[in-house]
Structure 1
Amino acid sequence: MCEVLLNALGPRPDRQVDGVFIAGQLALAITSGALPIGTKLSQQSIANHYGLSRMPVREALRCAQAKGLISYVPNHTPVVVASAANDDSDLAKALRLLEKCLPRLDRPNDELAPVVAEFLDAYQAGNGGDQ
């Protein structure tokens, strides 16, 4: 259980992280399919992995629960309940498109506007032009 979870979260970052970062990593791991439905999420293992207390991990789990990615009941081990196959939300689509643009975001600010415009065009085209 813990090995699958920690492999999906990837290596520990060099910088200090918080609950928002962990929530993003969990969401990415779940929507990418790295954490399949039924995977149990150990608060202590996640906290140890990031070198944090369990408080920011609980915050991250609440965020993942709010997104419908996990089942989180107090005093029970959280479990993944969503997958990449059934995550067709607009946010997930936008995140996948943004991932494609990220390698180009290290440019100076004057070059960032066209990248963002390209992202927005691609996002609107992927949603049939509604926005």
Structure 2
Amino acid sequence: MLDAEAPVKKSRGDFIAEQLEEAVINGTIPAGSRLDETSIAAQFGVSRTPVREALHILCGRGFAEREPYKGVVVTQISAQRIDEMFEAMAELEATCGRLASHRMTMGERAELESMHREMNALADQGDHAAYNELNTRFHNLIFQGSHNSDLIAVAQTLRLKLAPFRKYQLKDNGRRLKRSCSEHQQIVDAILNQDPKAAENALRRHLLSAAQEVLIKRQREEEDAVAKPNRVEEA
């Protein structure tokens, strides 16, 4: 049986996809932009093969789509769409948490608590990358704790789709890391206390809080992008 927690080495295609996804989310690459294989390959100093892999990933996650005579084009990701995805994830994770609160083994509970302590230390250090990686494992452990294979599969699929947004809302924001840890504490306490309702509510609040952070951060960056030309003109 494969270890669900084993770290997987990222391919060049995965790395390029992550960079492009972040640029789409923060508006650096606006909706409607054509993603040209040749220019992207030159930008990252790679052949077109990993670029094709990256574009395939973007299309699969809804960040771009293939249009006749145009190629791969960035899609419009509205605030409503982001809200809907996080809402769906919140309901899935809430269900996993409710089941995990009374289905997790003693070993799984101990691992969850240990992981939470490690994440607190990473938040104190401001290590966003390591925190994000462990955050994925933390939530995946809750999925696994539901001991329902179909629910786990659906939750993991949607989490993969939301991964760029969840990483985005944690990056370069020490305040958000601290808040995330505080929200995790409520989740861990509820699961360790075997309180299904509290676990369900804590996870739902946590995901909705993350959605709000993504939307606020995007709005700020859009406002900054609009304000920058004005500042240059004034100077």
Q: Give the TM-score category using the shorter length.
A: 0.5 to 0.7
Number of equivalent positions: 104
- 8 Å CA contact 2:13, 2:53 repeated in 1: yes
**Structure-to-structure mapping, 1:1-131, within 5 angstroms:** 18-72=12-66, 76-83=70-77, 85=79, 87-88=81-82, 89-90=85-86, 91=162, 92-100=164-172, 117-118=181-182, 120=184, 124=203, 125-128=205-208
Identity over aligned residues, as a percent?
30
Q: More helix per residue: 1 or 2?
A: 2
Change (3 A) 1:126 1:76: same
- Equivalents in 2 of 1:57, 1:94: separation in Å? 23
Change (3 A) 1:74 1:22: farther
Change (3 A) 1:76 1:93: closer
More displaced 10-residue stretch of structure 1: 88-97 or 26-35? 88-97
Structure 2: which amino acid aligns with 1:98? Answer: L
Structure 2: which amino acid aligns with 1:60? Answer: A
- 8 Å CA contact 1:32, 1:84 repeated in 2: no
- Equivalents in 2 of 1:56, 1:71: separation in Å? 17
1:10-67 CA-to-partner distances (Å, cap 9, x unmatched) read xxxxxxx711010001111111111111101110000011111100000000000001
Shift of residue 84 of structure 1? 5.7
SS at 1:22 equivalent: helix
- 8 Å CA contact 1:30, 1:69 repeated in 2: yes
List runs of 5+ in structure 1 lacking aligned partners: 1-16, 106-113
RMSD: 3.6
Shift of residue 100 of structure 1? 4.1
SS at 2:76 equivalent: coil
Structure 2: which amino acid aligns with 1:97? Answer: Q
- Equivalents in 1 of 2:206, 2:78: separation in Å? 17
- 8 Å CA contact 1:33, 1:84 repeated in 2: no
SS at 1:72 equivalent: strand
- Equivalents in 2 of 1:72, 1:58: separation in Å? 12
Q: TM-score, normalised by structure 2?
A: 0.36
List runs of 5+ in structure 2 lacking aligned partners: 1-10, 87-161, 187-201, 210-235
Q: TM-score, normalised by structure 1?
A: 0.60
- 8 Å CA contact 2:25, 2:165 repeated in 1: no
Change (3 A) 1:119 1:46: farther
